[in-house]
Structure 1
Amino acid sequence: MLKPSTPTPNHLRTLKLSFFDQLALPVYVPILFYYLPSVDIISCDKLQNFLAETLTKFYPLAGRFSEDDDELSIHCNDEGVEPPKIDLLPEMDHQPSCPLLGIQVNLFNCGGLVIGTYISHKIADAFTLATFVKEWAYTSFTGTLKAGSLPSFDHLSSLFPTRVLSETTQFPSYIINTTRPKIVTRRFIFDALAIANLKNTIEDSTAIRPIRVVLIMSLIWKVLVGISTAKNGHSRDSSLLFLINLRGKSNLPSLDNDALGNCTMYGIANYMEARKDHELNDFVKLVGNTIGDTCVAIGKAESVDDISSLIVNNQRKVIEKFAQGDEIDVYPSTSWCRFCWYETDFGWGKPFWVSLVECDAFEGISLMDTKDGDGIEAWVSLKENDMAQFERYPNILSSTSKLAFPFLSIN
């Protein structure tokens, strides 16, 4: 176990989770950083020392869930970060006694290196993970901690404390644990030219000029609706779920751009079976308008209670959709674009690739930047038969510059 280099002060030993953390799924989130061989690669001992220094600022990540209050707080006891050895990622099990963060450094005979990271979603979203990794990289690159202090992890929990949740706002355990048909993941790469061509087709038929994340999510959703219609013999209700980062979208100071922890809410775009419009621009309007309307509602919120009500209402709607089982199609999605993953330089150069891993637990869509920052990698997880159709769909074949297959899976 790797502990912070300086013990956490007694007055910081207990961290209450926020309402955002309370709603997050109890899963670990993985990411991998791949580096080419370099004469400047520092030793694992030094990398661990710099990690220990970084953990003094991110001390909750070295703690454990408290079993005394139904895991609604973190005991910041410096028990440590786990660096086990299995595949390219640490093996983690989301239990109260388990670490919140696992990191594995993989050295190859060729001199290349892969850093695999697992972090508990109950304490961190993509923004928080990116902030931590960049801070660790900065400390390794410069040999010193960045000047100034980060916002406290309890910044959000002080204004958005946990609350008693009704069953209608909690994800049932079967959503995560139920045995499902085999899920496979494929990585589809949309380069800048493909995205530009897609935008041109939109601009020919509408005044909307969508951002690339909206465009790719809309295209994938359109294809999935088409596959579902062909499979069932008729169109049916379909929903695209996506997490919206609340930071910087509200006038409330509690939701500033630097808040650590979870700070997201669901946006829900609905395609009703009665709709006759199924062109790409129709899906772009649905996704774009949903994001726009949700952000407007966040901006108009005048109090913490207003924000909490928005979160609870959309959370309840998401639970209701999952509860309908196979009666409708529900596709969770997330975007990790614009988090500057490729700027993670520990002192031996920037990564030549940053990736997610295969998911065989549930269907979903995850978007990442390509290295040049202009394209998008779409990691799509679907039932095996649906994926066979998805890969051959004309819209996908004509828009992806190449197709690659990941080699890691998580349960």
Structure 2
Amino acid sequence: MEKKVEIISQNLIKPKVSHIESFNFSALDLLAPLYHYPIFLYYPHHDQESINISTKSQQLKNSLSKILSDFYPFAGRLVNDNTSISCNNHNNDDFGVLFIEAFAHNYNLQEDILLSGIKTNTCGHFLPTLDSLLQTHLVIVQVTFFACGGMILGCWVSHKLFDAASISTFINNWASTARGGSSGCPVITDP
């Protein structure tokens, strides 16, 4: 049987709370190149009980919306020759993190991916398609579910916003929130 990844849905996930109008890059941030890099996260299914894909997908969307309240620039759009991010997303249908839900037909997460390693010709199936979206979206997420209950979370993230520390903080806080915990994001107030 043919192995394929079917896109089930696409949604823009917005922060639950509205924030400032714009976020200006620092002089150092302006030196960062404008490109996206991929991230793959693998989640095998270890429980004996079956998993409801729509429930898991909704849980990921809700927790992403919640965590974006702390990481609100990630849902914005680059403006002013890429020197700032427009962050106010409640009045514009174009703002938010693009969240793509997919299903991997005839793939086995354990055998095809985890044991044999992801192959260059296969990895594109588990990432959002490279196209003009990368010019407007700072973060694009694709969650691909497998029949075994496992999933791959593939992301394109803008290097303009993310370095290794910030992507680690973002992913860890999202995971904690998805599991029902708090974001763990420290609250920093102005002096």
Is the TM-score greater than 0.5? yes
* 1:110 paired residue among 123, 148, 153: 148
* 1:63 paired residue among 64, 73, 76: 76
Letter in 2 for 1:36: P
In the superposition, relative to structure 1, how do residues 28 and 141 fare at CA in structure 2: closer, same or farther (>3 Å)?
same
Q: How many residues align?
A: 147
Larger gyration radius, structure 1 or structure 2? 1
Deviations 1:305-350 (A, max 9, x none): xxxxxxxxxxxxxxxxxxxxxxxxxxxxxxxxxxxxxxxxxxxxxx
Residue 91 (str. 1) matches residue 102 (str. 2): no
Q: How high is the TM-score relative to the length of structure 2?
A: 0.68
In the superposition, relative to structure 1, how do residues 138 and 74 fare at CA in structure 2: closer, same or farther (>3 Å)?
same
In the superposition, relative to structure 1, how do residues 20 and 94 fare at CA in structure 2: closer, same or farther (>3 Å)?
farther
- Give the secondary-structure state (helix, strand or coil) at the position aligned to 1:122: coil
8 Å contact 2:67–2:174 — kept in the other structure? yes
5+ long unaligned stretches in structure 2: 1-11, 90-94, 103-123
Q: CA deviation at 1:150?
A: 5.5
Aligned to 1:20: 28
Q: CA deviation at 1:98?
A: 1.3
Letter in 1 for 2:38: P
Aligned to 1:2: 13
Inter-partner Cα distance in structure 1 for 2:168 and 2:131: 22
Residue 127 (str. 1) matches residue 138 (str. 2): no
Aligned to 2:67: 54
CA RMSD of aligned residues (A): 2.5
Matches within 5 A, 1:218-229: none
Structure 1 consecutive aligned stretches of length 4 or more whose deviation exceeds 6 Å: none
In the superposition, relative to structure 1, how do residues 106 and 95 fare at CA in structure 2: closer, same or farther (>3 Å)?
closer
- Aligned-residue identity in percent: 34
8 Å contact 1:83–1:90 — kept in the other structure? no
Deviations 1:276-299 (A, max 9, x none): xxxxxxxxxxxxxxxxxxxxxxxx
- Give the secondary-structure state (helix, strand or coil) at the position aligned to 1:82: strand
- Give the secondary-structure state (helix, strand or coil) at the position aligned to 1:48: helix
8 Å contact 1:88–1:114 — kept in the other structure? yes
Q: CA deviation at 1:106?
A: 0.8
Inter-partner Cα distance in structure 1 for 2:134 and 2:146: 33
In the superposition, relative to structure 1, how do residues 28 and 151 fare at CA in structure 2: closer, same or farther (>3 Å)?
farther
Matches within 5 A, 1:9-408: 12-39=20-47, 43-66=56-79, 69-78=80-89, 79-84=95-100, 87-93=125-131, 98-146=136-184, 148-149=186-187
Inter-partner Cα distance in structure 1 for 2:188 and 2:132: 27
- Give the secondary-structure state (helix, strand or coil) at the position aligned to 1:53: helix
Inter-partner Cα distance in structure 2 for 1:22 and 1:147: 25
Inter-partner Cα distance in structure 2 for 1:96 and 1:15: 19
Inter-partner Cα distance in structure 2 for 1:95 and 1:83: 12
Inter-partner Cα distance in structure 1 for 2:157 and 2:136: 11
Aligned to 1:266: none
8 Å contact 1:34–1:115 — kept in the other structure? yes
Deviations 1:206-253 (A, max 9, x none): xxxxxxxxxxxxxxxxxxxxxxxxxxxxxxxxxxxxxxxxxxxxxxxx
Greater CA drift, 102-111 or 85-94: 85-94
- Give the secondary-structure state (helix, strand or coil) at the position aligned to 2:136: coil
**Relative contact order higher in (CA < 8 Å, ≥ 6 apart):** 2
Inter-partner Cα distance in structure 2 for 1:62 and 1:114: 21
Q: CA deviation at 1:93?
A: 4.3
- Give the secondary-structure state (helix, strand or coil) at the position aligned to 2:179: helix
8 Å contact 1:31–1:118 — kept in the other structure? yes
Q: CA deviation at 1:138?
A: 1.1
Letter in 1 for 2:87: C
In the superposition, relative to structure 1, how do residues 127 and 114 fare at CA in structure 2: closer, same or farther (>3 Å)?
same
Higher helix fraction (1 or 2): 1
Deviations 1:30-80 (A, max 9, x none): 1101111133866110111001000000000000001xx211000012310
In the superposition, relative to structure 1, how do residues 104 and 110 fare at CA in structure 2: closer, same or farther (>3 Å)?
same
8 Å contact 1:28–1:92 — kept in the other structure? no
- Give the secondary-structure state (helix, strand or coil) at the position aligned to 2:30: helix
5+ long unaligned stretches in structure 1: 153-411
Deviations 1:369-410 (A, max 9, x none): xxxxxxxxxxxxxxxxxxxxxxxxxxxxxxxxxxxxxxxxxx
Inter-partner Cα distance in structure 2 for 1:106 and 1:18: 35
Inter-partner Cα distance in structure 2 for 1:53 and 1:106: 21
In the superposition, relative to structure 1, how do residues 47 and 13 fare at CA in structure 2: closer, same or farther (>3 Å)?
same
In the superposition, relative to structure 1, how do residues 150 and 96 fare at CA in structure 2: closer, same or farther (>3 Å)?
farther
